[in-house]
Structure 1
Amino acid sequence: MSALPSGAPAAAPLLSIRGVETFYGKIQALRGVDLDVYEGEIVTIIGANGAGKSTLMMTICGSPRARSGQILYRGEDITQLPTHSIMTRHIAQSPEGRRIFGRMTVMENLQMGTTLVGQDHFDEDLKRVFTLFPRLKERANQRGGTLSGGEQQMLAIARALMSRPKLLLLDEPSLGLAPLIVKQIFEVVRELNVNEGLTVFLVEQNAFHALRLAHRGYVMVNGAITMSGTGRELLSREEVRAAYLEGGRH
Structure 2
Amino acid sequence: MSVAGINVLVEETRAAEKARTAPLLSVRGVETYYGNIIALKGVDLDVHEGEIATLIGANGAGKSTLMMTICGNPRARRGRIVFDGRDITNLSTHEIARLRIAQSPEGRRIFPRMTVYENLQMGASLDNFAHFNDDLERMLAIFPRLKERLHQRGGTMSGGEQQMLAIARALMARPRLLLLDEPSLGLAPLIVKQIFAVIRELNERDGMTVFLVEQNAYHALKLAHRGYVMVTGTITMTGTGKELLANPQVQAAYLEGGRH
Match of 2:148 in 1: 138
The match for 1:13 among 23, 29, 37 is 23
Residue 11 of structure 1, CA deviation = 1.3
Q: Residue 188 of structure 2 aligns to which amino acid in structure 1?
A: A
Q: Residue 124 of structure 2 aligns to which amino acid in structure 1?
A: T
Please give the alpha-carbon distance, in whole angstroms, between the structure 2 residues aligned to 1:11 and 1:235. Answer: 25
Residue 247 of structure 1, CA deviation = 3.9
Please provide the CA RMSD for this pair: 1.0
Q: TM-score, normalised by structure 2?
A: 0.91
Residue 10 of structure 1, CA deviation = 5.0
Please give the alpha-carbon distance, in whole angstroms, between the structure 2 residues aligned to 1:237 and 1:189. Answer: 24
Match of 1:105 in 2: 115
Please give the alpha-carbon distance, in whole angstroms, between the structure 1 residues aligned to 2:221 and 2:87. Answer: 29
Q: Residue 133 of structure 1 aligns to which amino acid in structure 2?
A: F
Please give the alpha-carbon distance, in whole angstroms, between the structure 1 residues aligned to 2:129 and 2:249. Answer: 48
The match for 1:208 among 218, 228, 252 is 218
Match of 1:218 in 2: 228
Write the deviation string for residues 121-164 of structure 1: whole angstroms up to 9, x where unpaired: 11110111111100000000000000000000000000000000
Percent identity, please: 74
| Secondary structure of the structure 2 residue equivalent to 1:170 | strand
| Secondary structure of the structure 2 residue equivalent to 1:87 | helix
Match of 1:83 in 2: 93
Match of 1:52 in 2: 62
The gaps in structure 2 that reach 5 residues or longer are: 1-18
Q: Residue 48 of structure 2 aligns to which amino acid in structure 1?
A: Y
Number of aligned positions between the proteins: 240
| Secondary structure of the structure 2 residue equivalent to 1:50 | coil
Please give the alpha-carbon distance, in whole angstroms, between the structure 1 residues aligned to 2:238 and 2:145. Answer: 36
2:238 equivalent to 1:228: yes
Match of 1:157 in 2: 167
Match of 1:119 in 2: 129
Please give the alpha-carbon distance, in whole angstroms, between the structure 2 residues aligned to 1:222 and 1:78. Answer: 24
Greater fraction helix: 2
Once superposed, which parts of structure 1, at least 4 consecutive aligned residues long, lie more than 6 Å away? none
Please give the alpha-carbon distance, in whole angstroms, between the structure 1 residues aligned to 2:219 and 2:130. Answer: 36
Please give the alpha-carbon distance, in whole angstroms, between the structure 2 residues aligned to 1:139 and 1:125. Answer: 17
Write the deviation string for residues 208-246 of structure 1: whole angstroms up to 9, x where unpaired: 000000001000000000000000000000000000011
Please give the alpha-carbon distance, in whole angstroms, between the structure 2 residues aligned to 1:247 and 1:149. Answer: 25
Match of 1:184 in 2: 194
Write the deviation string for residues 12-38 of structure 1: whole angstroms up to 9, x where unpaired: 100000000000000000000001000
| Secondary structure of the structure 2 residue equivalent to 1:145 | helix
Deviates more, 1:238-247 or 1:39-48: 238-247
The gaps in structure 1 that reach 5 residues or longer are: 1-8
| Secondary structure of the structure 2 residue equivalent to 1:135 | helix
Q: TM-score, normalised by structure 1?
A: 0.95
Write the deviation string for residues 47-93 of structure 1: whole angstroms up to 9, x where unpaired: 00000000000000000000000000001000000110000001000
Match of 1:68 in 2: 78
